[in-house]
């Protein structure tokens, strides 16, 4: 019997904001324990939460970017449960009136090769709601200590429909969310810093069966690869169990990235009774059209739209767009040059996606403090286009110098004496010599074999000590033969 | 001199301070002396810090001699209910849970009082976490009614009411969730005001039931209460339920309204058994007084009154069960010495079992029950719907009348222990006050006579944010009677 998996994800994303969600205290990472606290964060007697509008802006923006409906009002509820990382022993969250309803995430599955675009799919969302994050427990041999620095940081929960069927899709789903959040400046989604975390609900059923199989919850997925591997492992495990005729028990599992396997945390006892009720300390929030359209106007062109446009408008191959687009800054850097000379866009794209990225990764520099500018890069491409220097010289000799010193292409060529010390007339002479010395390929070319001319290129380059521009050579040889 | 001082009103004392007939240090010393003289009998204070109070008084006097006085409250000792946060002072809520807790911050109303120079004087006893109507639920002590030491002072702001009645503080802050300012004010023969919900910030008030709690003034006269209310009310960004509103100058409003002929309503449901209760006599006389002033007295109906107590105990306990979850033995509260170290649930259970008193536990359990899945719709949701109906009752009544007159409490102060073992009968002592909290409207109690030698309070319920009118109505009565000048003999 064939089996298929049904997967839903709950993705927690920390909203980037100066202060915490219901307190004025600073939000941040990497501080000494319990420094980012105040009476609200510590749950002191008498402390009251007050909504931080920046967090609302963040989630509404996220909802708009992920195609959700934003209802006119939303309210706050308390989810009551005891745990030491929660200062009030209730979490302020949204139960039946979340800020974002529905929506979907467009994902791309891997194509046949890296050069072709893969299948695009829409994964439906149930909702996105806002809640306060909790603190962090640190366990030692004798004690467990709580750090409330993270407590009350703004946290979005993006809940998908059970719309995915593989680790690959879950991976693509998280990647798409991450890119969208970073593009919109809503979150940096740094999983190592806990800014993005995911839980997966996974069940397996025989193909053709309508009702869902028994699901398990997989927690502790703190890297995107972890999500993929964890889900794939779990699908295999459940399929194996079902094939053996064993039932799947409702339980919570965790992904152990060190051992590359899932392990059971707890079998689910009775469902927890969270005793949700409307938080009496917080008023419902009205979200009007003006607010929404202001945020809508702050949403930049989103990754998939930009990728399709780059392919269409600049004729870029998929493989280059797949490198440029996921990084908003890089794609904007590219476009700053490309829009000045759309016909040269592919050459620009190649330099950015290959040479620039290579230099950046080798030097560890960031794009922001890179010495080369979109304008100077465009200058280099134009120099090649004019035939002043050949492309290989531009890539190999000129570009790295520009990157190092911030000079223009002309300055590097001048300083390093890369400009050929001969003119077009000299190249024409060498071409004529090559034609005269190689009658056979010339005859082949005249007989209709286009490629035969390649045999003349080598001798000319040799005569020019590699400095002749191959495109120019090609053009002159054709002229001379005809 | 102190004999003369300790029953003077805040406005008189304020005048004396302004005229430099008296210094704040003298006044504070007299207050301390009075506390020392009578506190053993009354038991109003959980704690007080003499040197801190004197330092505040000295600072006030220094400001005054430099010509930089902060206003009418500058230098006046104000007692604080022990559920309001004052930076550096204990905040116990009269609970073992917070026995050793010192607040690291100021409540907004405290910040306001400090900025106006009031001398914050002592921590006043209450029913644990403000749950109760007799101040017998305090984990530390029982406060006595200064009029009869065998009796309770009312609750939960029993310490505040008793301190004012016994001359141990000029003014005091209380909190009112279902009548906790008005009922003890009534029992102790003083003035107590529960302001409109949202008009005084709750920031820094240890929450009992967030949607009902409101901080309010307790004083010996209507004008004193108005002065203190003026000082603490106003919008606060740190409380989301705080309302943006323009409050008129309350003292000026009281003056300018002194001749108005109001239309006053008598809710018939509150007077159904009027003939049978002796405590009703002073109330009926007070109504006659307003009639004699030319006010129109109208019978009105609040048809959902019967459901108020049940609704209140569902809403209040539900919120309390969640609000009190933070007292868990993890951070700053009492932690049990013995617990199963492997299990954090055991820390909670042991610590809460030891830290909370019976009444608090009873309400947490009730609140947990009414919110639990399967019961939410039947109890909490239904109660919220009834609450809306109760609020509408008042809206309808206020279309016809300016304010309502009712008894504050069904009976004068009862004897200690009388109702302690019968929580339901204790809950019924809030029967006339509870609806105002459910509806969010302002209410107050002022002394209007005696029953068997014990003070009886008249309750005035006003329109939302019309404290100026409510206080004006109260002042008309007070001006024509001398109850505010009658004090218990201690």
Dump the DSSP string for A413-462: HHHHT-S-SS-HHHHHHHHHHHHHH-HHHHHHHHTT-GGGGHHHHHHHHH
Q: What is the pLDDT of residues A142-195, one digit of tens each?
A: 888 999 999 999 999 999 999 999 999 999 999 999 999 999 999 999 998 999
Q: What is residue A88's predicted lDDT score, i.e. its pLDDT?
A: 97
Q: What is the mean pLDDT of chain B?
A: 96
Whether A133 and A39 map to the same domain: the answer is yes
pLDDT in tens, B388-408: 999 999 999 999 999 999 999
Closest CA to A108 of A202, A54, A175: A175
Chain segment A322-344, per-residue pLDDT in tens: 999 999 999 999 999 999 999 99
Q: B343: which residues sit within 8 A by CB, 6+ positions away? A: none
Query: Do A280 and A379 sit in the same domain of this protein?
Result: no
pLDDT digits (tens, 9 = 90+) for A354-402: 999 999 999 999 998 899 999 999 999 998 888 788 888 888 889 999 9
Residues A166 and A282 in one domain: yes
Q: Are residues A148 and A43 in the same domain?
A: yes
pLDDT at A456: 84
User: How far apart (Å, rounded) are the C-alpha atoms in residues B463 and B389?
Assistant: 16
How high is the mean pLDDT of chain A? 92
- The 10s digit of each residue's pLDDT in A42-84 is 999 999 999 999 999 999 999 999 999 999 999 999 999 999 9
Write the pLDDT tens digit of every residue in B5-21: 999 999 999 999 999 99
The C-alpha atoms of residue B42 and residue B37 are separated, in whole angstroms, by 10
Domain end (from A416, A441, A468): A416
Compute the average pLDDT of residues B85-103: 98
Give, as one character, the DSSP assignment of residue B441: -
Residues of B in contact with A78 (CB under 8 A): 322
Q: From CA A3, how far away is CA A204, in angstroms rounded? A: 7
Number of H helices, E strands in chain A: 17, 16
Set of chain B residues whose Cβ sits within 8 Å of the Cβ of A87: 326, 331
- B282 band by pLDDT with thresholds 50, 70 and 90: very high
Check CB contact under 8 Å for B105 and A39: yes
Taking residues A462-473, report their average pLDDT: 79
pLDDT tens digit string along A458-467? 888 888 877 7
B204 to chain A: which residues are within 8 Å by CB?
46-47
> Do A331 and A452 lie in a common domain?
no
Query: Do the domain assignments include residue A59?
Result: yes
Residue B81 among the catalytic residues: yes
Indicate whether A428 and A410 sit together in one domain: no
**Res. B1 pLDDT band, cuts 50 70 90:** very low
Shortest alpha-carbon distance between residue A50 and chain B (Å): 6
CATH number of the domain where residue A429 is located: 1.10.10.410
Report the pLDDT value the prediction gives residue A197, as an integer from 0 to 100: 94
- Residues A400 and A264 placed together within one structural domain of the fold: no
Domain identity same for A280 and A314: no
Determine which one of B23, B69, B157, B180 is catalytic.
B180
Q: What is the average pLDDT across B202-219?
A: 98
Q: Which of A82, A281, A282 sits opposite B328 (nearest CB)?
A: A82
Question: Do the Cβ atoms of B157 and B218 come closer than 8 Å?
Answer: yes
A271 pLDDT band, cuts 50/70/90, is: low
| Amino acid B339: pLDDT | 84
Total domains in chain B come to 1
- Model confidence band, residue B2 (pLDDT cutoffs 50, 70, 90): very low
ipTM: 0.95
- Residues whose CB falls within 8 Å of the CB of residue A243, separated by 6 or more in sequence, listed in order: A1, A3
CA distance B87 to B80: 12
Listing DSSP states for B225-272 in one string gives HHHHHHHHBS--TT-TT--------HHHHHHHTTT---EEEEEGGGST
Interface residues of A toward B, Cβ cutoff 8 Å, are: 39, 42-51, 78, 80, 82-84, 87-90, 144, 146, 273, 275-277, 280-283
Domain range for residue A223? 3-293
Q: Which token pair is A422?
A: 């001969």
Residue B254 vs residue B425, higher pLDDT: B254
3-state secondary structure B369-381: HHHCCCCCHHHHH
Q: Are residues A340 and A474 in the same domain?
A: no
Asked if B307 has any chain A CB less than 8 Å from its own CB, the reply is no
Same domain, A161 and A67: yes
Radius of gyration in angstroms for the set of CA atoms belonging to chain B, rounded to a whole number: 21
- Four-residue CA torsion sign, B104, B110, B114, B118: negative
The verdict on residue A70 lying in a domain is yes
Q: Would you give the DSSP letter of residue A37?
A: -
The top-scoring range by mean pLDDT among A351-365, A441-455, B212-226 is: B212-226
For B230-243, the pLDDT digits (tens) are 999 999 999 999 99
Domain membership of residue A119 (yes or no) is yes
Question: Is B375 within 8 Å of chain A by CB?
Answer: no
Decide: A252 and A268 in contact? Cβ < 8 Å.
yes
Q: Which two tokens stand for residue B288?
A: 């006659």
Angle (nearest 5°) at CA B307 between B301 and B311: 130
Residue A298 within a domain: no
Give the pLDDT of residue B3.
54
| Residue A309: pLDDT band with limits 50, 70, 90 | very high
pLDDT exceeds 90 at position B226: yes
Q: In terms of residue numbers, what domain contains B428?
A: 1-489
Q: State both tokens at B128.
A: 């644990």
Asked if residue B257 has pLDDT above 70, the reply is yes
User: Are B174 and B180 a contacting pair, CB within 8 Å?
Assistant: yes
Per mean pLDDT, which range of A17-21, A219-223, B92-96, B156-160 is the poorest?
A219-223
- Among B99, B324, B325, most A C-beta atoms within 10 A, so best to mutate, is B325
User: Which of A269, A293, A317 is a domain's end point?
Assistant: A293
Residues 6 or more apart whose CB falls under 8 angstroms from that of A62 comprise A13, A15, A100, A128, A156, A158, A180, A181, A184, A186
How does residue A268 score in pLDDT terms, banded at 50, 70 and 90?
low
Residue B8, pLDDT score: 95
> CA-to-CA distance for A14 and B89, rounded, in angstroms?
37
Query: What is the CATH number for B409?
Result: 3.90.1300.10
Are residues A176 and A55 part of one domain? yes
Q: How many CB atoms lie within 10 A of CB A302?
A: 18
Which tokens hold the place of B320? 């309390």
Other beta carbons within 10 Å of A343 = 10
> What distance in Å separates the CA atoms of residue B401 and residue B408, rounded to the nearest whole number?
19
Q: Say yes or no to pLDDT of A446 above 60.
A: yes
Least confident of A125-129, A137-141, B301-305, B419-423: B419-423
The Cα B60–Cα B73 span in angstroms is 10
Q: Does residue B398 contact residue B351 with C-beta atoms inside 8 Å?
A: no
For residues A134 and A270, membership in a common domain is answered with: yes
Boundary of a domain, candidates A391, A416, A441: A416
Chain A positions in Cβ-Cβ contact with residue B321 (cut-off 8 Å): 80, 275
Within a domain: A407: yes
Q: How many domains does chain A have?
A: 3
**Would residue B60 show up in a list of annotated catalytic residues for this protein?**
no
Is the pLDDT reported for residue A270 higher than 70? no
Residue B208 contacts residue B181 (beta carbons within 8 Å) = no
């Amino acid at each position: 019997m064939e089996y298929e998996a049904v997967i839903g994800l709950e993705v927690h994303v920390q909203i980037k904001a100066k202060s915490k969600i219901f307190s004025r205290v600073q939000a941040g990472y990497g501080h000494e324990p319990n420094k980012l606290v105040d009476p609200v964060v510590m749950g002191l007697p008498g402390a009251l939460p007050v909504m931080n509008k920046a967090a609302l802006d963040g989630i509404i923006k996220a909802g708009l970017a992920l195609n959700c409906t934003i209802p006119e009002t939303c309210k706050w509820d308390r989810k009551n449960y005891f745990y030491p990382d929660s200062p009030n022993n209730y979490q302020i969250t949204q139960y039946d009136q979340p800020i974002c309803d529905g929506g979907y995430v467009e994902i791309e599955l891997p194509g046949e090769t890296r050069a072709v675009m893969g299948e695009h799919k829409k994964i439906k969302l149930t909702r996105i709601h806002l809640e306060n994050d909790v603190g962090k427990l640190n366990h030692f041999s004798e004690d467990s200590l709580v750090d409330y620095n993270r407590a009350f940081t703004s946290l979005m929960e993006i809940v998908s429909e059970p719309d995915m069927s593989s680790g690959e899709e879950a991976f693509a789903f998280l990647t798409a969310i991450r890119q969208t959040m970073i593009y919109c400046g809503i979150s940096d989604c740094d999983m190592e810093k806990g800014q993005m975390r995911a839980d997966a609900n996974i069940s397996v059923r025989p193909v053709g069966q309508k009702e869902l199989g028994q699901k398990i919850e997989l927690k502790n997925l703190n890297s995107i690869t972890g999500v993929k591997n964890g889900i794939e492992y779990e699908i295999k495990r459940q399929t194996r169990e079902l094939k053996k005729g064993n039932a799947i028990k409702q339980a919570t599992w965790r992904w152990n990235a060190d051992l590359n396997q899932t392990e059971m945390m707890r079998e689910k006892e009775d469902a927890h009774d969270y005793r949700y009720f409307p938080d009496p300390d917080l008023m419902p929030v009205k979200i009007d059209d003006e607010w929404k359209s202001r945020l809508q106007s702050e949403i930049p062109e989103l990754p998939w739209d930009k990728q399709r446009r780059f392919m269409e408008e600049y004729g870029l191959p998929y493989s280059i767009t797949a490198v440029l687009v996921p990084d908003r800054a890089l794609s904007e850097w590219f476009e700053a040059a490309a829009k000045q000379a759309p016909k040269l866009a592919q050459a620009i794209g190649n330099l950015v996606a290959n040479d620039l990225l290579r230099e950046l990764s080798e030097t560890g520099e960031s794009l922001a403090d890179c010495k080369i500018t979109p304008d100077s890069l465009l200058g280099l491409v134009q120099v090649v286009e004019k035939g002043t220097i050949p492309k290989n010289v531009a890539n190999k000799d000129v570009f790295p110098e520009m990157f190092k010193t911030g000079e223009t292409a002309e300055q590097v060529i001048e300083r390093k004496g890369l400009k050929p010390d001969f003119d077009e007339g000299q190249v024409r002479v060498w071409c004529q010599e090559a034609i005269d010395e190689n009658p056979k390929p010339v005859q082949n070319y005249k007989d209709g074999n286009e490629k035969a001319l390649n045999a003349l290129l080598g001798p000319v380059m040799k005569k020019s000590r590699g400095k002749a521009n191959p495109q120019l050579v090609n053009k002159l040889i054709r002229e001379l033969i005809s | 001199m102190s004999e003369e001082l300790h029953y003077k009103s805040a406005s008189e004392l304020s005048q004396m301070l302004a005229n430099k007939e008296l210094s704040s240090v003298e006044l504070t010393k007299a207050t301390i002396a009075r506390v020392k003289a009578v506190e053993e009998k009354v038991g109003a204070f959980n704690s007080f810090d003499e040197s801190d109070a004197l330092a505040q008084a000295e600072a006030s006097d220094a400001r005054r001699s430099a010509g930089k006085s902060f206003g009418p409250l500058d230098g006046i000792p104000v007692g604080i209910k022990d559920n309001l946060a004052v930076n550096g002072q204990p905040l116990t809520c009269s609970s073992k849970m917070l026995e050793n807790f010192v607040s690291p911050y100021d409540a907004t109303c405290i910040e306001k009082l400090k900025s106006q120079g009031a001398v914050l004087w002592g921590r006043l006893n209450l029913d644990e976490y403000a749950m109760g109507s007799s101040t017998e639920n305090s984990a530390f002590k029982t406060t006595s009614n200064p009029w009869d030491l065998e009796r309770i002072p009312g609750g939960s702001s029993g310490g505040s009411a008793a301190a004012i009645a016994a001359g141990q503080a000029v003014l005091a802050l209380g909190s009112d969730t279902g009548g906790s300012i008005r009922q003890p004010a009534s029992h102790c023969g003083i003035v107590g005001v529960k302001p409109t919900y949202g008009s005084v910030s709750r920031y820094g008030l240890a929450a009992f039931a967030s949607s009902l709690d409101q901080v309010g003034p307790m004083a010996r006269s209507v004008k004193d209460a108005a002065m203190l209310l003026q000082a603490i009310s106003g919008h606060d960004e740190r409380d989301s339920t705080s309302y943006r509103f323009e409050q008129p100058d309350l003292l000026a409003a009281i003056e300018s309204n002194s001749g108005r002929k109001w239309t006053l309503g008598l809710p018939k449901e509150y007077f159904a058994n009027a003939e049978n209760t002796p405590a009703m006599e002073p109330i009926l006389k007070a109504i006659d007084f307003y009639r004699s002033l030319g006010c129109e007295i109208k019978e009105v109906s609040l048809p959902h009154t019967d459901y108020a107590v049940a609704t209140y105990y569902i809403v209040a306990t539900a919120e309390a069960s969640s609000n009190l979850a933070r007292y868990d033995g993890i951070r700053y509260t009492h932690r049990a010495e013995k617990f199963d170290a492997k299990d954090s649930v055991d820390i909670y259970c042991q610590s809460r079992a030891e830290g909370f008193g019976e009444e608090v536990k009873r309400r947490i359990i009730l609140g947990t029950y009414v919110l639990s899945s399967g019961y939410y719709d039947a109890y909490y949701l239904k109660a919220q719907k009834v609450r809306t109906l109760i609020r509408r009752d008042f809206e309808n009544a206020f279309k016809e009348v300016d304010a309502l007159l009712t008894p504050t409490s069904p009976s004068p102060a009862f004897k200690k222990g009388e109702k302690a073992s019968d929580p339901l009968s204790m809950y019924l002592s809030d029967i006339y006050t509870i609806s105002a909290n459910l509806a969010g409207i302002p209410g107050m109690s002022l002394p209007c006579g005696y029953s068997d030698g014990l003070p009886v309070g008249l309750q005035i319920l006003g329109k939302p944010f019309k404290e100026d009118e409510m206080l004006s109505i109260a002042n008309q009565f007070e001006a024509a009677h001398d109850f505010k000048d009658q004090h218990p003999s201690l």
